[in-house]
Chain A
Amino acid sequence: MSGKLRVRVDQDKCQGHARCKSLAPELFELDAFGNAHEVGDGTVPAGLEDKAWLAQSNCPEIAIEVIEE
């Protein structure tokens, strides 16, 4: 549980609700069509863990995976 977190957006599931981007703009970005992608390789900087879980639990399509490394 004390390890690092990584977020990943499943491109087949994301429909562009943009909830993750609004809740955790440090971790997610939107493309020209408004679909979400993780920033960089998805590594969650220290201190932003809660935002990663928050984004996951608010995605209506269950498209966000939070990986504990």
Chain B
Amino acid sequence: MSDHSPVTDWVHDFDHTDPRWTENPYPIWDELRAASPVVHTERYLGCYMPTTFEAVKQVAYDTEHFSSRRVVVRNARPEVIPSPPITSDPPQHKPAKQLLLPPFTPDAMKKLEPRVRAICNELIDGFIDEGGCDAAARYSKYIPVRAIAHMLGIPEDDSDRFIKWIHEILELGIKDEAILMNAVHEMMAYFGGHIERRKTEPTDDLISTLMNARDQNGQPLPDMHVQGTLRLLLIAGIDTTWSAIGSSLWHLARTPADRERLLAEPALLPSAVEEFLRAFAPVTMAREVMKETEIGGCPIKPGNMVLLSFPAANRDPTVFPDADKVVIDRKQNPHAAFGLGIHRCVGSNLARMEMTVAIEEWLRRIPDFRLDPAGKVTWSEGTVRGPRQLPVLFGKA
């Protein structure tokens, strides 16, 4: 089923890769939410989408009826490729996740912060004298990829290769299984080499942490588990935060008042970061229906996927007054940008630190900037949404 003809009826035939959704999904989500707490499309071999915060939360909390074994809605249902813990259901989920939590606590992130600050400044040094730049292609794109490479202990210089895999797995791979599987196999070969090398020369990084981990029976994790988790950390650590930083800069480029406020009141940055996460949450996940159930009065049948849109939940006006306004000092903001329930993003503290440092350093060095009227902002498609081209000019207009 590879029909991606233009959508004429969003409520009964939605497609999250339609160019209009990619460009501006918010009015579409409003239309879906007004129609029903859960909508369905025959595309993607059958897929539901919960449209309200409450319905999204119910699906996220219900691991009995909704499996995480497939976390991306694709044209096909390719073989399940485990990347624990994101693709794990209870009871396997908890031990796999516990292993990853200590290296990603806020305190652990403080130690990484100087490296991220240095990366931001190296990148800014590369374009600050040019009067403008593509802030997505030359700034936001390279901060998370280099930070996660640093944590994993793989060369930051391989960043472009990692970015190619992400694009193939999360964007092109939605519609082309061969591209998806090829990228997965390339990643396995890449990490295989790094794992082998550490068997004789142990290092102090996340790859070694995983290789040294022991399961409940005191046994090392199988290579496939280590491999799956490494793929997850690399994939999840890159275009997500790249998108969040890019969307934040996109907003600030168009909103001088918020820029000036953040420069005058730097203490507002943490709440501004949370608001950017709410308003521009990049990540949409998926679940697979395993057993018949009901959400918001709507029958849910096995065999279908669920498009689990945390970004749409974050725009639900019954939970967030003025949901479509970006309010950088929003007081009540229990947003779901990092998911809800047991699959809360393991890298959330990393993402927050990267966003904070990236915005701080950009504003410190480029306090005034605006969208380049001669350029075009483009957005990624599908699972992760953020600017992929963000041409800006420096200085006041």
B63 within 8 A of A: no
B102 within 8 A of A: yes
Contact A57 B344 (CB under 8 A): no
Q: Please measure, in the bound complex, the distance between the C-alpha atom of A62 and the C-alpha atom of B371, giving whole angstroms.
A: 38
Question: Hey, which chain B residues are within 8 Å of A21, CB to CB?
Answer: 106
Contact B106 A34 (CB under 8 A): yes
A9-51 CB mask vs B (1 if < 8 Å, else 0) is 0000001111101100000001011100000000000000000
Question: Hey, which chain B residues are within 8 Å of A17, CB to CB?
Answer: 338, 344, 348
B22 within 8 A of A: no
Q: Which of B101, B105, B270, B334 contacts A60 (CB 8 A)?
A: B334
Instruction: Using C-beta atoms within 8 Å of the partner chain, give the interface range for chain A.
Output: 10 to 19
Q: Which residue of B lies closest to A35 (CB)?
A: B101
Q: Please measure, in the bound complex, the distance between the C-alpha atom of A16 and the C-alpha atom of B338, giving whole angstroms.
A: 11
Contact B341 A61 (CB under 8 A): yes
A66 within 8 A of B: no
Q: Please measure, in the bound complex, the distance between the C-alpha atom of A32 and the C-alpha atom of B340, giving whole angstroms.
A: 20
Question: Hey, which chain A residues are within 8 Å of B105, CB to CB?
Answer: 30, 32-34
Contact A18 B332 (CB under 8 A): no
CB distance from A46 to the nearest CB of B (A): 21
Q: Which of A19, A30, A61 contacts B340 (CB 8 A)?
A: A61
Q: A59-B334, A60-B335, A60-B340 are in contact. Are A22 and B348 (CB under 8 A)?
A: no
Number of A-B contacts (CB under 8 A): 51
CB distance from B268 to the nearest CB of A (A): 13
A67 within 8 A of B: no
B92-113 CB mask vs A (1 if < 8 Å, else 0) is 0000001001101111000000
List which B327-345 residues lie within 8 A (CB) of chain A: 331-336, 338, 340-342, 344
Q: Please measure, in the bound complex, the distance between the C-alpha atom of A18 and the C-alpha atom of B347, giving whole angstroms.
A: 12
B349 within 8 A of A: yes
Contact B342 A15 (CB under 8 A): yes
CB distance from A5 to the nearest CB of B (A): 18
Q: Which of B106, B340, B342 contacts A18 (CB 8 A)?
A: B106
Contact A58 B106 (CB under 8 A): no
Q: Please measure, in the bound complex, the distance between the C-alpha atom of A42 and the C-alpha atom of B396, giving whole angstroms.
A: 49
Contact A22 B106 (CB under 8 A): yes
Q: Please measure, in the bound complex, the distance between the C-alpha atom of A51 and the C-alpha atom of B273, giving whole angstroms.
A: 18
CB distance from B254 to the nearest CB of A (A): 26
List which B311-362 residues lie within 8 A (CB) of chain A: 331-336, 338, 340-342, 344, 348-349
Q: A17-B338, A17-B348, A18-B348 are in contact. Are A58 and B101 (CB under 8 A)?
A: no
Contact B106 A62 (CB under 8 A): no
Contact B334 A30 (CB under 8 A): no
Q: Please measure, in the bound complex, the distance between the C-alpha atom of A59 and the C-alpha atom of B274, giving whole angstroms.
A: 12
Contact B336 A60 (CB under 8 A): yes
Question: Hey, which chain A residues are within 8 Å of B102, CB to CB?
Answer: 32-34
CB distance from A37 to the nearest CB of B (A): 13
Question: Hey, which chain A residues are within 8 Å of B341, CB to CB?
Answer: 15, 61
Q: Which residue of B lies closest to A57 (CB)?
A: B332
CB distance from B319 to the nearest CB of A (A): 10
CB distance from A27 to the nearest CB of B (A): 15
Contact B342 A30 (CB under 8 A): no
Contact A57 B106 (CB under 8 A): no
Q: Please measure, in the bound complex, the distance between the C-alpha atom of A62 and the C-alpha atom of B98, giving whole angstroms.
A: 22
Q: Which of A15, A34, A57, A62 contacts B104 (CB 8 A)?
A: A34
**Could you say which of A21, A32, A33, A54 has the most chain B C-beta atoms within 10 Å of its C-beta?**
A33
Q: Which of B107, B332, B338, B340 contacts A58 (CB 8 A)?
A: B332
Q: Beyond the given A22-B106, A32-B102, A59-B334, could you list 9 further A-B residue pairs with CB under 8 A, ordered by the A residue number? A: A17-B338, A17-B348, A18-B106, A19-B274, A19-B334, A34-B106, A57-B331, A58-B274, A60-B336
Top-5 shortest CB links A-B: A15-B344, A33-B101, A34-B105, A57-B332, A60-B334
A–B Cβ pairs within 8 angstroms, 27 of them: A15-B340, A15-B341, A15-B342, A17-B344, A17-B348, A18-B348, A18-B349, A30-B105, A30-B106, A32-B101, A33-B98, A33-B101, A33-B102, A34-B101, A34-B102, A34-B104, A34-B105, A54-B331, A57-B332, A57-B334, A58-B332, A58-B334, A59-B334, A60-B336, A60-B338, A60-B340, A61-B341
